[in-house]
Amino acid sequence: MRILVVEDEENLAESLRRGLSADGHLVDVAHDGHRGLDLALAGGPYDVVLLDLMLPGPGGHAICTRMRSHGDTTPVLMLTAKDGEYDEAEGLDAGADDYLTKPFSFVVLAARIRALARRAGACDRGTLQAGDLVLDPRGRRCRRGDRDIELTARELGVLACLMEQPGRAVAKQDILDEVWDTPQDIDPNIVEVYVSSLRKKIDAPFGRRSIRTVHGTGYRMAPDGG
């Protein structure tokens, strides 16, 4: 894979470059937000982008937002020393696909990268539909009516799980098992963060309530799209 690492801690950036290169990947490195943004928008195409949250110049959230506004759907893994659900929610709102808090194991990082690339490039689901909500997992495209909706790889995976079983309750753990690479290490409540993000994109702007909460279980997709 071709990977972009945007990290201002030079020792960490070099360690990531060496480790990822040893795994057979082609790695570009930027140490500040300006260079990182230039590479992300014009230096690609990349298979995965690793973005530090706090950078000189534009931060990781700003870079990710700019990528998505340019129609770039490259999977983004946010790296940060900060922790907490609000930081993660902010990253997801900016368009990030996954989130890893420092310090982290390189083995875990490598697994997350493989999972992101696998979801982005090897999805074999057919087109899914609930009312006027249409999801094409293979093409990574979503629309409601005639309006396109930009989704991250993780949001796409969660939505696909729900749309494959319209009207049926889908447990949080089932969504974790399907969408996350190491579900046994993740709090099932993280699914709530992604469902909240999806509701802001596919429901709120259209005055819909297609994703319903099933208390004590998980969520279900309204068959008519809400």
Q: What are the DSSP calls for 137-180, one per residue?
A: TTTTEEEETTEEE---HHHHHHHHHHHTSTTS-EEHHHHHHHH-
* DSSP bridge pairs for 212: 220
DSSP state for residue 206 in the 8-state scheme? G
On the question of pLDDT at 27 being above 80, the answer is yes
pLDDT at 182: 64
- Mean pLDDT score across all residues of the chain: 86
Under DSSP, is residue 55 helix (H, G, I), strand (E, B) or coil?
coil
**How confident is the model over 201-212, as a mean pLDDT?**
95
pLDDT at 120: 64
On the question of pLDDT at 180 being above 50, the answer is yes
Those residues whose C-beta lies under 8 Å from the C-beta of residue 184, and which sit 6 or more positions away, are: none
On the question of pLDDT at 126 being above 50, the answer is yes
pLDDT at 116: 81
CA-based torsion, 130, 138, 36, 182: positive or negative: positive
Question: Over the stretch 92-116, which tens digit does the pLDDT of each residue have?
Answer: 667 888 888 888 889 889 888 887 8
pLDDT at 124: 47
Q: What is the rounded distance in angstroms from the CA atom of residue 172 to the CA atom of residue 95?
A: 22
Evaluate if pTM is beyond 0.85: no
Q: Are 148 and 142 in contact (CB under 8 A)?
A: yes
In Å, the largest CA–CA distance within the chain is 52
Q: Are 58 and 39 in contact (CB under 8 A)?
A: no
Q: Which pair of structure tokens corresponds to residue 158?
A: 């969660």
pLDDT at 91: 63
On the question of pLDDT at 31 being above 50, the answer is yes
